[in-house]
Amino acid sequence: MQLFDAIRSRRTSNGAFQPQPIAPEHIRQILELASHAPSHFNSQPWRFIVVQDQARRQQIADIAGDSMRLLMEAGTFWRRYSRYFRFSQAEVEQSADGIYLDNMPAAIKPFVRYVFSPKGGAVMNKLQVPRVLGKDAHKLVASSPLLLGITLTRAEYQEDQLSGMYSVISLGAVIQTIWLTATALGIGMQFVSTPMEVEGQWERIVELLQIPDDQALLVLFRLGYTDPKVKRPTIDWSSPQRKSVDELAFTETWGTPFTQGRDPERS
C-alpha cells in the first residue's frame, strides 16, 4: 500500500477482527518501523508491550467491559463528552468533526438525541444501554488477537516539565507510525481508553502487565486483521468526516485564508 493511501484509509476499527493471530513478522515490522518515529533529543521515551496470551487478554477484556458499563451507568461519559456527539448527517456536515452515532437498535433510535444526552442517563440505564456497551466492549477486546500497550518513561514524562509535553508529542508520532504500518498490513486498531475513565481500572491493567513504577502506561490498543464481512457493534459510531484545508489552515498570520494549490474550479 502506498503511503498516501495508508494515510487516507487509516480508520479506527470499531468492529471485531479476524480471529487468527497476527503474523510474528508483521508484529516485528510494526515495532521496527515504530522505532523510526521522531522524539525529543532522540530520547525514544516509549516502550511497547505486546499482549497475546489468551488468559491475559481475557482479564483485560473483563476490565474494559466493566469500565465501559460503569462509565455509562454513572453518566460521566455523556457529561464529559457530549459535545463530540453528532446525531444526524446534517450535524456531521455542519461541524465536519465529532463522532456520529449512526448504528443502534431500533428501540433506541427515535429517542437517540435524548437518550445520549447528559439528562438521558436514567432512560439509558432502563434501556440497558450500559450493559449492551459493556458486553460489546468485552467481546471486542477478548476476541482481539493482540493488545498493545505503550508506556513513556517517567524520567521524560513529567507533567511539570517541558519534556513531559515533548514526550507526549513523541508518543503521538509513534502511534501514528504504528497505525499507518498496521493499515498497510491489513491490520486494524482501536484505542481501549475506557479503563482510563473509571477510577482504579487503569491501575488494574498496569498491575496485570507488571509495568514498573518508572514507566507510565499511556495507551492501550487492540489489534487484528480487519474483516471485510464484519458486523457492526450493537451501538456504534463513525467519524470519517474531516474539515477542509481551507478551514484548518491560515497563511502567515492567523485568520488569513491559505489559498495556495486550491482547486481553481472552486470560488
Ligand X SMILES: Cc1cc2nc3c(=O)[nH]c(=O)nc-3n(C[C@H](O)[C@H](O)[C@H](O)COP(=O)(O)O)c2cc1C
**One character per residue 199-238, x = contact with ligand X (rule: CB under 6 A):** ----------------------------------------
Q: Which of 44, 64, 38 is nearest to 147 (CA)?
A: 64
Q: What is the footprint of ligand X within residues 235-264 (CB under 6 A)? A: 239
Contact call for residues 112 and 235 (beta carbons, < 8 A): no
Based on the shown chain and the rule CB under 6 A, indicate whether residue 191 belongs to the binding site for ligand X. Answer: yes
Biggest CA–CA distance in the chain, Å, is 58
Nearer to ligand X, 15 or 111 (CB): 15
- Closest separation between CB of residue 262 and ligand X, Å? 24
| Among 23-31, 122-130, 187-195, 251-259, the segment contacting ligand X (CB under 6 A) | 187-195
Q: Based on the shown chain and the rule CB under 6 A, indicate whether residue 82 belongs to the binding site for ligand X.
A: no
Of 58 and 193, the one with the shorter C-beta distance to ligand X is 193
Q: Among 74, 99, 211, 216, which residue sits at the site for ligand X (rule: CB under 6 A)?
A: 99
Buried b (16+ CB within 10 A) or exposed e, 104-139: beeebeeebeebbbeebbeebbebebbebbbbbbbb
Could you say which of 6, 12, 135, 139 contacts ligand X (CB under 6 A)? 12
Indicate if the alpha-carbon torsion angle 57, 60, 64, 65 is positive or negative.
Answer: positive
Q: Are 91 and 39 in contact (CB under 8 A)?
A: no
Q: Does 167 bind ligand X (CB under 6 A)?
A: no
193 is a site residue for ligand X (CB under 6 A): yes
Give the nearer residue to ligand X in terms of CB position, either 7 or 107.
7
The pairing of strands 85-86 and 99-103 is parallel
Interacting residue with ligand X among 190, 201, 215, 226 (CB under 6 A): 190
- Angle at which helices 24-34 and 162-184 pack, to 10 degrees? 140
In Å, what is the CA distance from 56 to each residue of 52, 60, 63? 8, 6, 11
> Of 43-51, 88-96, 185-193, 253-261, which part binds ligand X (CB under 6 A)?
185-193
Rg, C-alpha atoms of the chain: 20
Which residues form the interface with ligand X (CB under 6 A)? Answer: 11-12, 99, 190-191, 193-194, 239
